[in-house]
Amino acid sequence: MDIDEDIGDSSPAETPATKMSRQQILTLIAMASINFSSMICYSILGPFFPNEAKKKGVSQAMIGLIFGIYALCTLVGSLLLGKYIVQIGAKFMIVAGLFVSSGSTVLFGFLDRVSDGTVFIVLCFITRCINAIGFSAAVTSSFAVLAKVFPDNIATVLGFMEIFTGLGLILGPPLGGWLYQSFGYEIPFVFTGCLLFVTVPLNLWILPSFDAVPSSQNSFLRLCTRIKILLICFVVFTLSSGLGFLDATLSIFAIEKLNLSAGSVGLLMIGLSLPYGAASPVFGVISDKYPSIRKWMMVIGGMATAVSFCFLGPLPVFHIRSQLWLTVLMLIVVGFSLCMTCIPTFAEMIACAHENGFEEGLSTLGLVSGLFSAVWSAGMFFGPTFGGYITQALDFEWSAGVQGALTFLAALLQVIYITIEDIQKKSQKASTSLLQGEKSPLLPKTDPLRVDVS
């Protein structure tokens, strides 16, 4: 598993811009509807559920587990479904996943009617697990489909899709907070669950079918033997763990320390999702146009994210009082930096897989998409769970600092890998030049076609 095995130009060949086909347009519409509706359903919990769960006698650590179990089940589902995407069918996975996710979202809205304590916690876990399986089916398949339909512009298309992800994350918290304050606990989940259900017939109608042949040579184990893949996975893990941490802890911090209402917390979260959605298409175009700088986008974005998390609380060692303007500013920086780091990762994973002998097809794309979704979900489990535990044991300020340290570590490992990679490239280039010099003759060869006419 030497680093030099991963060395190579990951830049895809540039192709001239062409007009999109009907299949590409329909795929974009379908994937945009999935991203938008799924993110609204996911993000409505943040402003009010942690506080509502505390009223039901649930501890901060258990609230973190309720958030985290969703990601853990998504992790398992992504690995299994990504492996068998060809056998199951990409379109069926998307439609079935949306149906299951929408139904479980509606059911989650009626959990306030059950008794407090253990019964409430158990039903929260069951409902969230079912929702996560449906979500993993839809998202894993959608990533693979996008990479299949747009093989030469995957980062640009993902950047465009992140606009709708950002819109869902932007509208979800304030919409959930407003519906909760106006109508109570049930309506936010019923409304968003029905919104997600509308996408089922829409995708069933407009999404094309994708035929592919299963590959017996591709495997997650073989994919994970590449150091470059592992480092990118760690970057993705730190990004999603930071987002999961904020979902589970930011609302209580804002309510208790900044004296904000549930509706205001929803508006506060826009500071994170708005810059993320706005910057996504820009970073996507840059990533596709200049693929050689993708690695530095991940490094710079990771460093900026680490600094922002340290000042989000901020850390007690800085002796700075928690203030609303500072929290909003750091959330904005986190949104931009997460976007800069995240957008290049999926394209780099696909390029690395192709460089190391994985065939170009839906089977490989399913593996990469499944691994990406699984690692993202692992972070979304770790962030709320571990972050909730540290927040309960210490406070929000210290737990945010820990998240920043993880992100800094991921960026540092990237720098070390890039440095070693450049050294090995220069060494290989020098060795090649030396060998060519040894093979060159000491005396110049005479031209065999020259004739002495003297």
pLDDT given at position 304: 92
Report, at the CATH architecture level, how domain 22-212 is classified.
Up-down Bundle (1.20)
What pLDDT is stored for residue 397 in this prediction? 83
Q: What average pLDDT does the segment 215-237 reach?
A: 78
Per-residue DSSP letter, 11: P
181 has pLDDT over 80 = yes
pLDDT of residue 447 exceeding 70, the answer is no
CB atoms within 10 A of CB 299: 22
Confidence of residue 218 (pLDDT cuts 50, 70, 90): low
In whole angstroms, give the CA distance from residue 78 to residue 81.
5
pLDDT of 445 > 70? The answer is: no
Asked whether the predicted pLDDT for residue 450 surpasses 50, the reply is no
What's the pLDDT score for residue 210? 66
Please report where in the chains the tokens 């306030």 appear, as a residue: 112
| Residue 51, amino acid | N
The highest-confidence range among 35-39, 340-344, 429-433, by mean pLDDT, is 340-344
pLDDT at 270: 76
Domain boundaries in the chain? 22-212, 213-428
Q: Do domains 22-212 and 213-428 have the same CATH topology?
A: yes
pLDDT at 220: 66
Question: Span 325-350, mean pLDDT?
Answer: 86
Question: With bands split at pLDDT 50, 70 and 90, how would you rate the model's confidence at 303?
Answer: very high
- State the Cα–Cα distance between residues 100 and 220, nearest whole angstrom: 26
Provide the pLDDT for residue 130. Answer: 92
pLDDT at 166: 72
Residue pair 214/41 in contact by the 8 Å Cβ criterion: no
- Mean pLDDT (the chain) is 79
Is pLDDT larger for residue 106 or for residue 369?
106
Q: Specify the pLDDT at position 253.
A: 82
- Across 132-139, average pLDDT: 86
Question: Taking residues 272-299, what's their average pLDDT?
Answer: 84
pLDDT of residue 16: 42
Tell me the mean pLDDT in the region 229-240: 90
What is the DSSP secondary-structure string of 181-244? HHH-SHHHHHHHHHHHHHHHHHHHHHPPP------SS--HHHHTT-HHHHHHHHHHHHHHHHHH
Task: Write down the pLDDT at residue 438.
Answer: 59
pLDDT at 400: 86
* C-alpha distance from residue 83 to each of 225, 300, 322, 378 (Å): 17, 33, 46, 17
Whether residue 369 is predicted with pLDDT greater than 70 in this model: the reply is: yes
Q: Model pTM greater than 0.85?
A: no
- Per-residue pLDDT, averaged over 156-185, amounts to 80
- Judged against a pLDDT cut of 80, whether residue 107 lies above it is answered with yes
d(CA 374, CA 128): 16
Q: What is the pLDDT of residues 2-54, one digit of tens each?
A: 444 444 444 444 444 457 777 788 888 888 888 888 788 877 877 778 878 88
In this prediction, residue 211 carries a pLDDT of 60
Least confident of 10-24, 300-314, 359-373: 10-24
**Percent residues over pLDDT 90 in the chain:** 7
Could you confirm whether domain 213-428 is CATH 2.40.40.20? Answer: no
Q: Taking CA 130 as the corner, what is the angle to CA 125 and CA 134, rounded to the nearest 5 degrees?
A: 145
Per-residue model confidence (pLDDT) at position 234: 93
Mutual orientation of helices 324-355 and 118-149 as an angle, nearest 10°? 50
Give the residue-averaged pLDDT of 177-182. Answer: 83
104 in Cβ contact with 74 (< 8 Å): no
pLDDT confidence bin for 448, thresholds 50/70/90: very low
- Confidence label for 444 from pLDDT (cuts 50, 70 and 90): low
pLDDT tens digits, 397-425: 888 888 889 999 999 999 998 888 888 87
